[in-house]
Amino acid sequence: MTLSEFFVIVPDLSTEKHPEVRPRHLSHVAERMAKGEFYRQGGAYLSSPIASGQEGNLPYAGSAMVVAAEDEEDVKRQLTNDPYAKEGVWDVAKARIFHFKTGDSVPINYPLQQ
């Protein structure tokens, strides 16, 4: 199996549900990443700036990520299996998927925030 990299942008269907589902999404991502599967890096994109150190009531708008997958259909299948999709946060039908090649990166070395 040959994997390719993809840059993926997924808008939210429900920004209200985003914080509620986030712990299950992060657990899912951590499990997958620990196995070297699918997710490489990612995070939320926001509809407006936030104050330094602000953690609650973030203005979520969707998610952006780099993933490894066989092809675009595999990306869609994997997105569909994420709690954000299963619980009505992501609008997977409107996901934008781009072929991507990671350049240099610097590891951030911190645990996923729960």
Does the model's pTM come out above 0.95?
no
Closest CA to 42 of 113, 93, 92, 104: 113
pLDDT of residue 104: 65
Position of tokens 């196995």? 35
pLDDT of residue 110: 43
- Helix or strand (DSSP H, E) at 66: strand 60-69
pLDDT of residue 52: 81
Contact between 98 and 1 (Cβ < 8 Å): no
**pLDDT tens-digit series, residues 41-94:** 888 899 999 888 777 788 989 999 998 899 999 999 999 999 999 999 999 999
Average per-residue pLDDT for the chain: 86
Class of domain 4-47+61-99: alpha beta
Structure tokens at 5: 């990299």
Backbone angles phi, psi at 40, to 5 degrees: -110, -45
pLDDT of residue 63: 94
